[in-house]
Structure 1
Amino acid sequence: MMRSNFKANNSMVLEVLTEEQCQMILSAAMEILERTGVVYHYDEALEILDEAGCWVDGNRVRIPTKLVEKALRTVPSRVTLYNSRTKEPALRLEGSNAYFGTGSDTPHFIDPYTQERIKASEETVRMATKVIDALPNLDFVMSLGIVQDVPQPIYDRYQFRAQVLNTSKPIVTTATDVDGYGDIIKMCEIVAGGEEELRQRPFMTLYAEPISPLQHDNDASTKLVLAGKKSLPVVYTPCIMAGGTVPATLAGAMANGLAESLSGLVLNQQTNEGNPFIMGGVFTIMDMETTIFSYGAPEFHLMQAALADMAHFLQIPMFGTCGCTDSKVVDEQAAIEDALSILITAQSGANLNHDVGYIEHGNTGSLENLAICDDLIGIARRVVKGIEVNEETLALDVIDEIGPGGHFLAHEHTMENFKKETWYPDLLQRKRYGEWQKDGKKTLTERANEKVIDILENYEPEPLSDEVVQKLNEVVQKAEESLDL
């Protein structure tokens, strides 16, 4: 078979913005930083930026375009996160590599045993982490809850301990403040085997965010600086509401949100040139009827895909959002919104995609929704993989051999290829009606609940050594003692 000027389109990708549109949004963000400026509530950040050549007026900082351009040159285009047990690379955040994981700070949690909406706790984080570790299409861990049954000033230490004890997958962590972040770094160094070992093979990245519009509070700024000083990766993610905290026009919202990301990037790179940095955001609308931060709006999907276009344009790893819903329960609405966001995010090529398992517009975590999304991610990955067209896959010799009226079921070519070409579900149902009826006529949510319970009662994550566990407990105990508990 002869080919000339052959163009292959092997994968199914989505691009919302052209390069020209990306440049327009970038130019607008740079103008915002130079003309309007941003606020930093941290003296060391102000000193760093003043020395770098920014215009500093009190807490208001105007950032010259040349400093943004310098930061864009020095920031790495790839960030690698590792398995905490094997020390092998787990996630290569670059290009269009798409990975999926949960979100963090939901105050509520659906108890898988009672289906009651309860407060998130250390135990619910342990449960969620165990399920995430077991599900094959979930690649990293966030807590899927704010631990509320421990002293709140140091809840992040308990939360991180519950995660690192129950997964070997990379962890995206939050921290109450810079002291909490410091303790989490200590815990990571214990697991990794030392400070340099963690720096060389990080299995944790911090999640922090500015306050829209155009503000970096003390907590976010101190964490950005500490991440730079420690040479550890950091996710810095604006959470904007079009019409509320940023302009109602999506282009204006994108420019405002990007300006917040870039001003965080400049501070981080001025602290440590070349520090690993992951941009992104949860960009959506304020629903004017309910005032909620909507995870199901079509504008949410559009802006998440557009943000991935911007990240690819800037060659910075991207923190995306998907697998989440505004529905209060795991129902048809949840399935629709989950599926749309997962497919669009996978096709857009965002790298580190969080909030999988959220329901109730980010207020509640659901393990059943998480298990269903695991199947949906499998579908999305198969769709994005596309169709490979070559002499082997065209199978002309096989077609000729079988001929009219034959069948391919027992042919060696089928045996060699059907598993490679075809995706098979775990929870989604393909049985005939009689088989489904015989199995109890279970709904998708019921099957998801059974899977979750089975994992909780039978799956065991790879443990850490007793010595490491004791040292982790000592970090938590020291934090407790600082509160005179």
Structure 2
Amino acid sequence: MLNGLQDKMSGKLEFLSEDDCEKIHYASLEVLSEVGLKIEPGYALDALEEMGCDVNKRTSIVKFPNYLVEECLRACPHSVKLYGLDSKYDIKMEKKRTYVSTGTGYGVIDEKENLARAGNLNDVREATLIAHHLDNIHSISPPLVGVSDSPANIATETILAETLKNTNKTIEFYLTGTSDSKPEVDDLISLCELVAGGAAELKKRPFAMLALNPVSPLIYPEEQISSIFKCVDAGIPVAIMPGAVGGATAPITISGILTQSNAEFLGGVVLANIVKKGAPVVYAHYNSIMNMQTGNYSAGSVEMGLIGSCVGQLGNWYGIPTNGFFPMSDSHIPDQQVGYEKMMQWVLSTLGGMNYLNGAGSVENGTLISLEQLVIDNEVVGMVDRMLKGVQVDDERIGIDTISKVGPGGNYFKQAHTLQWSRDECFIPKISEKESFSNWEGENVITKAKATVDEMLRNVETPVDKDIIKDIEQFQKELL
């Protein structure tokens, strides 16, 4: 199993006190009991009414009694495990452990042509292969939500299939809503069952989880509810991911965003428990604020990191694993702005205790993918991992004997203590510039990342068994 980012500093950053978490919880219960959620499909309304909810079938507004929400919360598992197609890639989302996944986009930054363009299935293949072979990327989300060389109505299924042909790591997938025939979730579950070796094997060892979004403010569309029901029934964990935008689809204040999105999440917990009591759910989010100057969704804002840290705290308070569909940046290309915006969000979220973070490789509000940024983010995550280890204080590390041996004016370079602890104490970067100016050859982190991408694409191969690839390719053909 992958350890992920796990050490003494995880969850140490607390923007919310215990009283704050309690206030947000009870305010969320008040929203659910007094305002309610709009629940679109009739079968869900019937089921919620049977569970004791106040259901208005004319308006589709459902008001949830406090006791029901609390009962479903108590049933939630405290950890959620995903099983890699190779067991060494298993992950366990739980308190004081963070895993990193790739971001997604609608297009790619093509460094060869120096432009942004529509993505294709080869881009999916390349991004997945690179992510698979990067040590600090623990799980993978399909890198694109649409491609130019696949019909839109089967794009989600085709992209997930291409992803699964190129990695044995765990997967978080999503819906795009582009299918014009049967619900796309049916094909996605069928594909997962095919790769797992059957429905029973998928239930026993789920390797994927579904990320889905209620519509803020306070709406669960039919497709989202149907997908919750079907995935829970198939044994696939569900990441319930509100995406409220402060100032647009939620209050502008962070506590207001947290209260509304928490109510939306708690409603999803009840919906999942209709199918199975104690269904594996993950408390996810991609909430942010609206840029008040432009009216745009501000994905790279420091507030997104603050909210992520608070959601991590709330998840710890509930005892439920958490997931953030970020870090992201508002910058259009890999540059300094991407660096400081994403690093701020990495740090805030991991110190706040978030258990699973997407976003590696994404730029431009999460709409574009850059292979070079994916390599850079892998290095950034290595730095975050070192930060989470904190400072260990013990006799061996203090090294009084070595200090005495070296004495005034001495040098520690050749000491055994230095050799023993250098790798444990010091993060060793691969592409960051560390030479003196006089020895610098004019490269920067982008050109170094590009060279790494080129080398990897020349040398890496898919780890997936050839028979599984053949089955997936047959699945892709049958979609057409």
TM-score range, shorter chain: over 0.9
Q: CA deviation at 1:187?
A: 2.0
Matched, 1:82 2:83: yes
SS in 1 for 2:13: coil
> What amino acid is the match of 1:289?
Q
> What amino acid is the match of 1:444?
V
Q: CA deviation at 1:405?
A: 2.8
2:84–2:207: 8 Å Cα contact kept in structure 1?
Answer: yes
Distance 1:40 1:122 in 2: 36
Aligned to 2:65: 64
SS in 2 for 1:414: helix
CA 87–187 in structure 1, closer or farther in 2 if over 3 Å, else same: farther
Aligned to 1:16: 15
List gaps (5 residues or longer) in structure 1: 1-7, 481-485
SS in 1 for 2:316: helix
Aligned to 1:451: 452
CA 354–418 in structure 1, closer or farther in 2 if over 3 Å, else same: same
Aligned to 1:463: 464
SS in 2 for 1:239: coil
* TM-score normalised according to structure 2 size: 0.93
> What amino acid is the match of 2:107?
H
Matched, 1:293 2:297: yes
2:286–2:326: 8 Å Cα contact kept in structure 1?
Answer: no
1:319–1:353: 8 Å Cα contact kept in structure 2?
Answer: yes
Aligned to 2:229: 225
Distance 1:405 1:197 in 2: 64
Aligned to 1:372: 376
Q: CA deviation at 1:25?
A: 0.4
Matched, 1:249 2:253: yes
Q: Deviations over 1:428-468 (max 9, x none)?
A: 1111223222xxx01211111111222222211312223x2
| Partner of residue 440 from structure 2, selected from 422, 430, 436 | 436
Q: CA deviation at 1:91?
A: 1.4
Structural mapping, 1:309-324, within 5 Å: 309-324=313-328
Q: CA deviation at 1:400?
A: 2.1
Matched, 1:147 2:146: yes
Matched, 1:202 2:203: no
Q: CA deviation at 1:77?
A: 0.8
Distance 1:364 1:155 in 2: 17
Matched, 1:394 2:389: no
1:140–1:172: 8 Å Cα contact kept in structure 2?
Answer: yes
Q: CA deviation at 1:392?
A: 1.4
Aligned to 2:164: 164
User: Which deviates more, 62-71 or 145-154?
Assistant: 145-154
Distance 1:119 1:401 in 2: 62
User: Which deviates more, 258-267 or 457-466?
Assistant: 457-466
Q: CA deviation at 1:307?
A: 1.0
SS in 2 for 1:16: coil
CA 356–40 in structure 1, closer or farther in 2 if over 3 Å, else same: same
1:153–1:176: 8 Å Cα contact kept in structure 2?
Answer: no
Structural mapping, 1:318-397, within 5 Å: 318-397=322-401
Distance 1:12 1:48 in 2: 37
1:87–1:201: 8 Å Cα contact kept in structure 2?
Answer: no
Distance 2:48 2:28 in 1: 18
* TM-score normalised according to structure 1 size: 0.92
Aligned to 2:4: none
Q: CA deviation at 1:270?
A: 2.0
1:292–1:361: 8 Å Cα contact kept in structure 2?
Answer: no
Q: CA deviation at 1:12?
A: 8.0
1:173–1:205: 8 Å Cα contact kept in structure 2?
Answer: yes
Q: CA deviation at 1:110?
A: 0.8
Distance 1:385 1:19 in 2: 25
Aligned to 1:124: 123
2:37–2:63: 8 Å Cα contact kept in structure 1?
Answer: yes
Matched, 1:135 2:134: yes
SS in 1 for 2:82: strand
SS in 1 for 2:324: strand
- Stretches of 4+ moved more than 4 A in 1? 8-12
User: Which deviates more, 191-200 or 378-387?
Assistant: 191-200
CA 354–399 in structure 1, closer or farther in 2 if over 3 Å, else same: same
Q: CA deviation at 1:10?
A: 6.3
SS in 1 for 2:28: helix
Aligned to 1:4: none
Q: CA deviation at 1:398?
A: 2.2
1:98–1:350: 8 Å Cα contact kept in structure 2?
Answer: yes
Q: CA deviation at 1:161?
A: 1.0
Structural mapping, 1:86-101, within 5 Å: 86-88=86-88, 90-101=90-101
Distance 1:81 1:257 in 2: 25
RMSD across aligned positions (CA)? 1.8
Q: How many residues were matched structurally?
A: 467
Q: CA deviation at 1:176?
A: 4.1
Q: Deviations over 1:276-330 (max 9, x none)?
A: 1111211110112212111222222211111111111111110114432101111
> What amino acid is the match of 1:450?
A
2:142–2:159: 8 Å Cα contact kept in structure 1?
Answer: yes
CA 25–212 in structure 1, closer or farther in 2 if over 3 Å, else same: same
Distance 1:463 1:267 in 2: 35
Identity %: 28
Matched, 1:413 2:417: yes
Q: CA deviation at 1:37?
A: 0.3
| Partner of residue 426 from structure 2, selected from 382, 402, 422 | 422
Distance 2:101 2:398 in 1: 36
Aligned to 2:3: none
CA 100–9 in structure 1, closer or farther in 2 if over 3 Å, else same: closer
Q: CA deviation at 1:11?
A: 6.3
Q: CA deviation at 1:140?
A: 1.0
SS in 2 for 1:388: coil
CA 157–306 in structure 1, closer or farther in 2 if over 3 Å, else same: same
Distance 2:278 2:478 in 1: 33
Aligned to 1:108: 107
> What amino acid is the match of 1:111?
D
> What amino acid is the match of 1:457?
R
2:89–2:168: 8 Å Cα contact kept in structure 1?
Answer: no
Matched, 1:265 2:272: no
